[in-house]
Structures are given as C-alpha cells and as structure tokens.
Amino acid sequence: MENNNSTFCTLIIIAIVTFTGISYNTIYGQLVSPTNNTIQHAKHIFDNLITSQHIPLTGNLLDGDYILLMDLTPFATSVEGHSHIAMKIPCDKDGIPKASIIAGIAPDLKSLDVGEAINNGTLNGKRFDLSDKGNSCLYHAQLPIGITDIVLVNTSNETLKFDRGGYSVTVSVHGTAIQHLGNETMQMH
C-alpha cells in the first residue's frame, strides 16, 4: 500500500509540473526601514523560468485580431532547443494554418515558421491522424532565443470559430531574467 501511495504522489507532482508549469526564481527581499520609509531590493541571485502552459482556444477571433498567448517579461527564452510551441488550430485544405504565431519583444514582433501540418502519428502501433486538412491541423515549432511575447494572429481573411474542434496552443519555455535590479533604493511617499 505504501508503494501505491508514493506512486500516486509522484503522479500528482508530475501532473502539477506538466499542466501548470514551474517557476524558479529568487524572491526579491524587501527590507523596509521603519524610520525613513526606504525599501531596498536585494540583488538577484538566480533568475530562471521553466514553464509549460496549455491554452484552450474558445470563442471567435476576427480577421486581423490576435490573442496574446504569453508575456514572459522580465524573462526571455534563453536555452536553444528548450522552448517550443505546439498548436492545433484551423487550417485550409492544403494544411496551411489560418492563424500565425508572432513572437519577439513587443512591439518588435516577427512571424514564426511553424512548418507544415503534422499529419500522421501512431497510437499503440497503429496509424493515427493528427491533422484533418480543411478543418484542424497540428503544428510544432521551436521558439527563438530572446523573446518575451508570443501572440496568435488570425491571418485567414475570415472569422475563426474555436468553439468546436478542441483547438489549443501549448507553450513550453525555458527562460532567464533579462534585467537585474541590483541594489536599488526607493523612497516611499
């Protein structure tokens, strides 16, 4: 029975890490001086971020409109090959996505090449279709180093309806803080 409990606890921990992400960073120490209302921020020691976020897509997205999927500020993607995006979104009959991912540091954003639709997978050794061209397709891409903002933009010339089809985006990021406060002193008024 004890082995089952430890296995159960391990599965809960894995589920929490997988579905909600983990953030590792040192908390800023705030020391308030009672005599002069001064706050001193302690120097950053270790500022890393590791997270994975599943984002269900619902409702409608007008042509040209966008959804801000993630803002990592003050962190930025930092380890090559460790940050990626997977998405199941509407696509045309040729497997071209009806929405685009743009990424960067706002307002300087660039289109991300998500490649071709991933069509064929396997499930228990048997063929399993991952994309249904003309309806929904699966795409996967690596995120570039140094970005803080990830946005999904409707580029279809039509309103996208996400209510049917199980559309979603999953973003997994390994990032590092892009700015350090050092020792700062602020006067409280």
CATH number for 137: 2.60.120
- Say what the pLDDT of residue 160 is: 96
Domain of residue 127, residue span: 2-187
What is residue 55's predicted lDDT score, i.e. its pLDDT?
Answer: 94
Cβ atoms 81, 142 nearer than 8 A: yes
Distance of CA 130 to CAs 95, 122, 143, Å? 12, 9, 21
Number of compact structural domains in the chain = 1
Check residues 75 and 44 and name the one with the higher pLDDT.
Answer: 75
Q: What is the pTM of this model?
A: 0.68
Question: Tell me: the pLDDT tens digits for 112-159?
Answer: 999 999 988 888 988 888 999 999 999 999 999 999 999 999 999 999
Phi, psi (deg, nearest 5) at residue 151: -130, 140
